[in-house]
Amino acid sequence: MNNLDQLFIVSLSGLAIVIIIGLFLPRQATWLAKLSPLLYVGQLLLLIKMASLVYIDAGSASEIQSSFHLHLLGEPLQWRFDALSWFFAIITVVAALFAALFMSGVWGEDYRKKTSANAYTMLHLGLLLNVNSMLLLLASGDFISLFIGWEFVSWASFFMMVLNPQKVARQAAMKYLMYAMTGAMALLAAMAYIYDISGSLQYDIVRLSMSHLSSEQIIPLVILFVVGFAIKMGVIPFHLWQAVAYAETPAPGAIFMGAISARMGLYAIIVVLFQLISMDNFAYIHIPYTFWNVQSVLAWIGALTTIIPTYIALKQNDARHLLAWHGVGQGGYMLLGLVIADNVGSAGGLLHVFNHATYQAALFMTVAAVMYRTGTSNFDKLGGLVSQMPLTFMVMVFSIIGLAGLPPMNGFVSKWMVYRSLLLDGQPLLFVAAVIGTLGTILSVYKLVHNTFLGQLRVEHQEIKEAPLTMLIPMLLLALIIFVTGVMPGLILDWIVPVQAAIGLPPLDYHLGGIILPTGGLDMIWLTLILFYGFAVGAVIFYLIGGRAKHVHQYDNYAGGHFLTAKVRYHYSHNFYAGLMHLIGGWYRGSFVRLEKAIVSLVSFLSQLAENFYRANQPTMLVVAVVVMAIWGIAVGRFG
């Protein structure tokens, strides 16, 4: 019974506890809700006990094998943890812990009152199911267990999504299910292909047989795998399902899924493309009839994913949807960084997984807190909340600085590394694409913070207070993490360098404050000091040398050149980037939406055709069938 077994037992017994209490002791459910973070604390402790996977010393093993295994269909099934699994697992469990903390307090009480005790238990169950299935996926040690984990994750996400009974959420969940099933079937097809090639679904054997594959064999294989996994990540062209589905789940679900769920796709891509089929080959595999190779195609997919969903986010008029669309877009940076496959870029991609989880969770929490107080996340109905909820505002500012990738927050470090490796690799076009993505991010996070917190307060919000303490604590903790890991990225790079080793990439040189490169590294500690020094200089100039400052009341400002008295509340938030949209609005063509509709119509058409067959005159059909078969039989006999 090693730590991995214990981890599974703890997470499964958590599930059992919630189910038993939910079914048989509904009165105790409130206590359970209060104590639910402990379930994740237990898992976190076990993960910490397994930390020797990344803090490697002389005696530590590179893999922890679970003692539970099966042998079915002539294939062994096994579960194990390595540095890569550990890295994703700790993000998962910490994200769940924060979501549970957030949920265990006032938010949960409120949710229980608005819905029912049962629905609240279901929410806990959904979170636990998600964590369990993700751990199962991360521990998979062969393709069958990978597929099992993959399906579990898909269905657990679906379960979480349908907890919101509203129509928009249900439609999104159904759409997700279709995408997820398509992905699962693509994965199954890829597994079938692998089995055909190597005669086994065990990683060791597959890895060996992958090394002597021709490019004609490898391209369809990569396509099938990437389709399967990219659907979960919401990579272009499969980005349509994710944002609405994640945004519309109940807040803790959105916090958790926004932080980590979609990254399971990235994990699987890493396992297959890096650990099994070495990424080194991809630069040499040319796509027939084009001047691209597999690596550059993947990189461009990543780059387009940073751009398109981000600019879709810019048009959103609901804070949750805006954030969720960013979640899709940020996945592009991770993929882009990893696909470059050098030491800086891949570390940047992996680091971005962690960073994104922190600020995305914090952002969804701030939005949930605003929703708790105001009842809406619609930009048209918000504004000026900074005077009422200053701490929430501060957390949001920390997080959007991270999301936009500006110093000194953690998002900057990972994005810098991705940019840097693009430049080092000689990919200026990809660099420009990444920067265009970041531009869109900055524009839309400004929209987020402006439309929610800045400007004039609405009349109906005059009485509201700061978010309650149970919400503030996890939010502030996350803000702290965002800042600390921004200043000292070495803390997280400690985990990432062993992961690089585990997936066969060159390791990064780093120190506590940043990374070391022969052509100029990055030291966040110095950078932050200089930044604050600059602020200090600015403050000195402003307060000491500058003239008398006038304190302007929140209602005493206006925008857009309209002449308004201070009595008229005015907040410019609707159709926020009207000027910009005038310029780029024509680019939004909805091509992917139309493609999706076209596929549905095609299926509908085929279905009608098939139905006509079953309505046809049957004996006639029978005669026709026999004649056709007879002709076929004769033809085969004659020429076969």
Partner 1 sequence: MDKLVLLVVLPLLAAFLMPVLARSSQVLARLSGLLVLLISITLVLNVWGEVDKQAISFAIGGYQPPLGVVFYIDQLSLLFALLIPVMVLIFWPWNRPSSIQEYSLMMLLTASASGLMLSGDLFNIYVFYELLAVASYGLVSVQVRQGQHPVVAWVASLRYLLLGSVGSVMMLLGIAIIYLQTGTLNLAQLSLLAPEALNNITGLSAFVLILVGLGVKAELFPVNTWVPEVYAGVSTRLSALMAGLLSKLAVIVIVRLLVLLFPQPEALHLMTVLGMLGVISGELVAWRAKDMTRMLAFSSIGQLGLVFIAFSLPGNIGLLAGFAIALHHLVVKPALFMLAGGWSGRLEKLSGMAQSSPYHVALFVLLAMSLLGVPPLPGFWVKLLLVMNLAVQTDPVYHFALAFMLLATVLEAAYLYRVVMLFYKKENHTHASSQHSLFDWITAIALAAVLLISVVQLPSVERKLVSMAYQSGNRLLYIHTVFANIGTPEARIDRMSPTDQAKQPLVSEPSIKEKAIKEDLVLGSAEQ
Contacts with partner 1 by CB under 8 A lie at 70-74, 144, 147-148, 151-152, 155, 162, 165, 170, 173-174, 177-178, 181-182, 185-186, 188-189, 191-193, 195-196, 198-201, 204-205, 208-209, 603-604, 606-611, 613-614, 616, 618-619, 621-622, 624-626, 629-630, 632-634, 636-638, 640
CB-CB neighbours of 603 under 10 Å = 10
Least distance in angstroms from the C-beta of 70 to partner 1: 8
Q: Is 397 exposed, middle or buried (0-12, 13-18, 19+ CB in 10 A)?
A: middle
Nearer to partner 1, 40 or 238 (CB): 238
Least distance in angstroms from the C-beta of 616 to partner 1: 7
Least distance in angstroms from the C-beta of 330 to partner 1: 28
Nearer to partner 1, 192 or 580 (CB): 192
Least distance in angstroms from the C-beta of 354 to partner 1: 29
- Per the listing, tokens 């999301």 go with 403
* Strand (E) or helix (H) holding 285: none
Distance of CA 57 to the CA centre of its chain: 32
Nearer to partner 1, 241 or 431 (CB): 241
- Cα gap 495→507, rounded to integer Å: 11
Least distance in angstroms from the C-beta of 633 to partner 1: 5
Helix-strand-coil split of the chain, %, nearest 5: 75, 5, 20
Q: Is 484 exposed, middle or buried (0-12, 13-18, 19+ CB in 10 A)?
A: middle
Least distance in angstroms from the C-beta of 257 to partner 1: 19
Least distance in angstroms from the C-beta of 18 to partner 1: 17
Nearer to partner 1, 120 or 359 (CB): 120
- Cα gap 354→88, rounded to integer Å: 8
Nearer to partner 1, 153 or 409 (CB): 153
Nearer to partner 1, 561 or 637 (CB): 637
Least distance in angstroms from the C-beta of 143 to partner 1: 10
Beta-strand relationship, 510-511 and 514-515:
antiparallel
Beta-strand relationship, 522-523 and 63-72:
unpaired
Nearer to partner 1, 25 or 70 (CB): 70
Least distance in angstroms from the C-beta of 601 to partner 1: 13
Residues in CB range of 409: below 8 A, 6 or more apart = 359, 398, 399, 401, 402, 482, 483, 486
Least distance in angstroms from the C-beta of 157 to partner 1: 13
Contact 303, 434 (CB under 8 A): yes
CB-CB neighbours of 191 under 10 Å = 19
Q: Which two three-digit tokens encode residue 291?
A: 């001047």
Least distance in angstroms from the C-beta of 606 to partner 1: 6
Nearer to partner 1, 284 or 605 (CB): 605
Contact 32, 21 (CB under 8 A): yes
Q: Which of 485, 320, 358 is nearest to 98 (CA)?
A: 358
Q: Which of 562, 582, 579 is nearest to 571 (CA)?
A: 562
Nearer to partner 1, 593 or 629 (CB): 629
Q: Could you say which DSSP state residue 523 is in? A: E
Nearer to partner 1, 172 or 472 (CB): 172
Least distance in angstroms from the C-beta of 602 to partner 1: 11
Q: Which two three-digit tokens encode residue 448?
A: 């987020």
- Cα gap 214→192, rounded to integer Å: 17
Helix, strand, or coil (residue 234): coil
Contact 52, 32 (CB under 8 A): no
Nearer to partner 1, 77 or 386 (CB): 77
Contact 210, 203 (CB under 8 A): no
Nearer to partner 1, 116 or 575 (CB): 116
Calculate ∠ Cα 622-628-629, nearest 5°. 90
Q: What are phi and psi of 345, to 5 degrees?
A: -65, -45
- Cα gap 400→402, rounded to integer Å: 5
